[in-house]
Amino acid sequence: MRRVRERAYAKLNLTLDVLRKRPDGYHDMEMVMQTVDLYDTVDITLNDVPGIEVGISRDDLPKNLHNLAGKAAAEFLNFVNESVGVSVYITKNIPDKAGMAGGSADAAAVIRGLDKLLETRLSDKELLELCAKVGSDVPFCLRGGTALARGRGEVLTDLPALPRCGIVIVKPDFSVSTPALFGALDGQEIENRPDTAGFLDLLKAGDLPGMGKKLYNVFEPVLPPPERETVDAIKAHLLRNGALGACMTGTGSAVFGLFPSLEAAKRVKPLPYATFFASPVEKTV
């Protein structure tokens, strides 16, 4: 086999808490993460001439080794001591700078695809260690489903699947600086945090309306005022249109709402922003 096509699924943060800044400069996190069926398509091809090439369907996004998918290919080949050529082409559907791990999902798809193409049959532990070298969200993107993520995001605990539901994702026309948001949190006491334990109890019980009320992201209060106003307005619109709860994902700027069904989600009145409709996805490996 010389070519494989992988789906790179987006993620959402159902809860997001930043616990502390670590001596290594990273932050300890605690997050309930969920894969959804909005995905990029990643084509991976083996070549006879060594080298890594990454192409992408959008001209404004990085290519080759400047792309996280290229870094993933390099880490994989180094780990298995292979010198084959690898060509990757990514067809983007996940919005970038949205807090949905689009780049990390592409990188995970490359690692998953190369494991198949080269028939290396790496263990789950080896694959996850490789993913963690590439980026904090990459291990979760490799496994998918519903998980509690700790550490930088690479320490994963599988959770019961999120009940079937509809999800509306709205991407406003601005991006948010991740370092700036972490810096803002480092400079103050976090007054409100997600009730992660309570959320996990509701998840175990399959109580979707209860989970909707527990969605929370500690980055929302430290958004710059204009961006926070937009995020709050999108959340209010989703709630008025029947969402069980709404929240920003990651460091933004995408906002999502949980609905009882996909049909209910698709009845939401449109907003003047890019809007996507999705459903939860169970584990991808």
CA distances from 144 to 101, 166, 228, 255 (A): 12, 18, 29, 20
Q: Which of 11, 97, 171, 235 is catalytic?
A: 11
> What Cα–Cα distance (Å) separates residue 164 from each residue in 160, 228, 267?
12, 29, 17
| Residue entry with tokens 């209060």 | 221
Contact 251, 99 (CB under 8 A): yes
From the candidates 137, 171, 214, 235, which is the catalytic residue?
137
Q: 224: how many CB neighbours lie within 10 A of its CB?
A: 13
> CA torsion, points 279, 152, 135, 275, in degrees to nearest 10?
30
Using left for φ > 0, alpha for ψ between -120 and 50, and beta otherwise, residue 153 falls in left
The answer to whether 196 touches 32, Cβ cutoff 8 Å, is yes
- Alpha-carbon distance of 56 to 45, in angstroms, equals 14
Please confirm, yes or no, whether 232 is among the known catalytic residues: no
What count of residues does the chain have? 285
Active site residue 137: yes
What's the one-letter identity of residue 261?
A: S
How far apart CA 265 and CA 259 sit, in angstroms, is: 6
Q: Which residues are part of the catalytic machinery?
A: 11, 137
